[in-house]
Amino acid sequence: MDQLMKTLRPYWHDPTQVFIHTTLSPITGRPDYTSLKRLEKENKDNARRVFSSRGDEGHLRLCYTLKDYNARANIAGNPWIDPVNPGPRPNIPIDATEAQVCLAVVNHHYDVQEFHLYHSTENALLKKAMEAVEEVYYKALEDPDLGYYQLKYIDFIQHLRETYGELDDDDLSNNIKRMNAPWMPTQPIQQLFNQIEKAQAFAREHDIISEKTAVRSAMTNLENSGAFPRDMKEWRLKPEADHTWNNFKIHFTAANKERLRTITTKEAGFHDQASKASQPQKDNPYIVRNSNGKGIMAYCFSHGLQWDLTHTSMTCRNRHKDHNEEATVSNMCGGLNRIKRQPGEVAIFKYQPSTTNRRTNGKENCIKQR
């Protein structure tokens, strides 16, 4: 018995030693939705780190009301029960055997430790949060006599959330803007998926962005990019039930992979053709180059200046009846004087046709070579 009592000396475990965020990211000025979310997340990381035999997520329960915590899906069937204060001494019946006494002592000791850890974790979470926020924003929680003595971490968080953490219409419409930001064919397609999923997560608790809306936003974006005309058609032809967000990502990830492969092959083919003609690439008169000599755009009599380097007056496969294979950027021979926008570029200027425009066709329109 004496031996047992010796091993049961109290040991107070400091929960902050296992916190990952020893200082939470400070919130300067008025807290808002985003900064509060971050603060909560950092303390959730901390709470999870403090072991508890009551659940798999350490002391995460302290970051929720008991009701909300137990309503989480992964808790189902195994609700959390808060430890209760076991009192100063073990409760030992007068006629207890020595074994029963030992058991009561050990249990009491364990309960004290557990109860203590629960409360010190709660205090530590509250303290970290208070240090990260300027006092003026939670002063209302101070009791005139007891100060913050009875304040619980979750009440502190709820107060800030209710007072400063509401998303307003501006936040939500900016979120939609971020979701619909134009995607460029030069960017990884994953970036488009990410921006949409991020927007969904942001609005989740406020103004839900449905799966249908997500798919529609991505479709519009890809449509504007002009990069997937055929794959869009294929997608539209699928049965409505298959138009899920996951299927969308699978479909267009594959389509993009194929698109990138084709572009590389086309470029390689173009270089081959150029070298076969033993003509330095730089001399190709259909191509517009940047300062490094890299081809950027190509000219076609029937289609104007556009981004497909394999498409020129010479190679065009869908020609105007007066098509002229000699038409180049510097000598369009009366061909189409249109510059195609980069996919994803939003038009601001709109062409207004004028009745005074006149045009004649034919080779006589070519500028005489000097």
Which residues of the shown chain bind Zn ion in the complex (CB under 5 A)?
300, 302-303, 316
Taking each helix axis from N to C end, the angle separating 189-203 and 169-180, rounded to the nearest 10 degrees, works out to 160
Give the shortest CB-318-to-Zn ion separation in angstroms: 6
Tokens representing 189 are 């397609």
User: Which CB atom, from 121 or from 302, has the smaller least distance to Zn ion?
Assistant: 302
Sheet holding 304-306, edge to edge: 287-289, 295-300, 304-306
Selection from 231, 238, 287, 236 nearest residue 259 by Cα: 231
Give the shortest CB-312-to-Zn ion separation in angstroms: 8
User: Which CB atom, from 90 or from 304, has the smaller least distance to Zn ion?
Assistant: 304
User: Which CB atom, from 199 or from 300, has the smaller least distance to Zn ion?
Assistant: 300
Give the shortest CB-317-to-Zn ion separation in angstroms: 7
CB 141 within 8 A of CB 163: no
Give the shortest CB-309-to-Zn ion separation in angstroms: 13
Compute the 3-state secondary structure of the chain and give helix, strand, coil in percent, each to the nearest 5: 50, 5, 45
Closest residue to Zn ion, based on beta-carbon distance: 316
- Indicate the DSSP class of residue 274: H
Name the residue with tokens 């690439």.
281
3-state secondary structure of 99: helix
What is the C-alpha to C-alpha distance for residues 206 and 168, in angstroms, rounded to an integer? 9
Strands 287-289 and 295-300: antiparallel
User: Which CB atom, from 125 or from 300, has the smaller least distance to Zn ion?
Assistant: 300
How far from 177 is each of 172, 195, 244, CA to CA, in Å?
Answer: 9, 10, 22
User: Which CB atom, from 96 or from 316, has the smaller least distance to Zn ion?
Assistant: 316
Give the shortest CB-304-to-Zn ion separation in angstroms: 8
User: Which CB atom, from 202 or from 286, has the smaller least distance to Zn ion?
Assistant: 286
Give the shortest CB-360-to-Zn ion separation in angstroms: 20
Give the shortest CB-206-to-Zn ion separation in angstroms: 49
Encoded amino acid at 138, one letter: Y
Q: How many CB atoms lie within 10 A of CB 178?
A: 13
User: Which CB atom, from 17 or from 310, has the smaller least distance to Zn ion?
Assistant: 310
